[in-house]
Amino acid sequence: MRIGLVSYEYPPQRGLGGVGTYTFRLAGALGRAGNEVVVLAGPSEGAEFDQPNVTVHRVPARYDPPVTFRGLKFLYWRVLARLMDSANPLVWHWLRWDLASLPALAEIHRATPLDVIEAPEHAANGLFTGLSRNWPMVLRVHGPWDLFFGINRNDGAALNNLLANLEKQSLQYAQVSTVPSLSMGNFITRRWHLAQRPVVIPNFMDVPQLRPPLPDENEPQRIVCAGRLERFKGQDVLVQAFAMIAAKHPRAQLLLIGPDQWSKKHRFAEVVEKLVPNEAIRSRIQLSGPQPLVSTQDELRRAAIAVVPSTGFESFSFSTLEAMAAGRPTVVSRAGAMPELLDYGRCGMICSPGDAGELAIALDRLLSDRELRENFAGCAYERARDVYDTQAVLPEFVSAYELARERFGPMPQRLGEREEQILQLI
């Protein structure tokens, strides 16, 4: 099957979220399974990764309206574009890329005809692909913008709302819609008042064949948290919890991996200094900054405990799955899909979001009980192997693509006219 993946986010771009990680893993898995995969993504300065049967096309976020009247072009470049950019440059950047993606995809199709397209709802990357009605489309709902922009960005509310509405509209043009978790499916069905819940197909990864052992009691007991340092990820809560148990567990250390995106005014190191005035305890807290995925996985395999303390809704949580695949006893907050990943407490500990005291109790229990750590580690690893390994999940994606093609019907003989009509109307 010839599969097109349309996603602005795709490695080796910096500062990627879960959409980029997911798309990269999906492309690689589909390619290794013998499918021909074409990825349409945003710009990147790094060298492309070598993935069998995967071709990546990079498209800049630049859109030039296909109009011949110079006055209309002047209005676009000197009025509309400047107004949108000043209102919210991030959202306008994504919208420009969405507009540029359709003619780029049509050009790719003329050289390499595509059987089906998958796109994320993220930033409405699939909207114009769906509007063209040239290909069967599967829309992957990772986590809508209206769920997050109030937490991450308060500026440019009008464009934020526009982007959120465009994400919602993109769903109606898909033959099949999927979500990574039951929690996300229930949430988006209520949020967008859907008549039918999207198909649940979990995110996945290649789970190692063997589970690495937990560190010995006389070794450092490292508590590892991997993910962007930002407010709804809850690293401040984890720092407070660690400070509560640090004196009782002198071998415990806390490692926070990820880029610092805490706020425009304060670095997270300043937050740590304020929350942990005791210099001796603070010296056992390390901020490593962003790390390559391979390095993060190595750190997890050496950890005694993994923690994902998010205080906001998580539609899946790759960080939790990485910890499970590394065979670590894992503590998560009761936020979105994370309890679902840990089988609602059978394969890890679950705490109330934002409750540092409850999180401290969980850390203390795990650090004090080697047998409990081993039980949770083994259960989490086996669940990752059985439910979230690539080989277990990939056939579900292929089935979704086949269903989309069946619902779409015969492919159009010629492409180009429809997308030109759409772009003329924009």
The pair of three-digit structure tokens given for residue 364, joined into one six-digit string:
């203390």
The pairing of beta strand 176-179 with beta strand 252-257:
unpaired
The domain segmentation of the chain, as residue ranges, is: 2-204+390-425, 221-387
Residues 227-241 have a mean pLDDT of 95
pLDDT at 145: 81
With pLDDT > 70 as the criterion, what percentage of the chain qualifies? Answer: 88
Alpha helices, DSSP H, located in 51-156: 70-75, 81-87, 89-111, 127-132, 145-152
User: Helix, strand, or coil here: 105?
Assistant: helix
pLDDT in tens, 66-122: 655 555 554 554 555 666 666 667 777 888 899 899 999 999 999 989 999 999 999
| Buried/exposed code over 350-359 (b: 16+ C-beta within 10 A; e: otherwise) | bbebbbbebb
pLDDT of residue 197 exceeding 80, the answer is yes
Determine which of 2-6, 60-64, 70-74, 307-311 has the lowest per-residue pLDDT on average: 70-74
Provide the phi-psi class of 193: left if phi over 0, else alpha when psi is between -120 and 50, else beta.
left
- Greatest Cα-to-Cα distance within the chain, rounded to the nearest angstrom: 75
Report the CATH architecture of 2-204+390-425: 3-Layer(aba) Sandwich (3.40)
Residues 6+ apart with CB under 8 A from 270: none
Predicted local distance difference test score (pLDDT) of residue 424: 47
Q: Write down the CATH number for the domain with range 221-387.
A: 3.40.50.2000
What does the DSSP assignment read for 4-54? EEE-S--TT-SS--HHHHHHHHHHHHHHHTT-EEEEEE---SSPPP--TTE
Local structure of residue 205 (DSSP, 8 states): B
Tell me the average pLDDT across 386-410.
Answer: 97
Q: Read off the pLDDT of each residue in 132-157 and give the average, rounded to a whole number.
A: 76
The whole-model pTM stands at 0.88
Identify the three-state secondary structure at position 198: coil
Cα(272)–Cα(255) distance, rounded to whole angstroms? 12
Q: Measure the CA–CA gap between 375 and 160, rounded to whole angstroms.
A: 44
* Mean pLDDT score, 231-246: 97
Tell me the CB-side half-sphere exposure of residue 374, using CA atoms within 13 A: 7
Distances (CA, A) of 40 to 6, 33, 102, 116, 196: 5, 20, 10, 13, 29
Q: What is the mean pLDDT of the chain?
A: 90
Model confidence over 27-79: pLDDT tens digits?
999 999 999 999 999 999 888 999 999 999 999 988 776 655 555 554 554 55
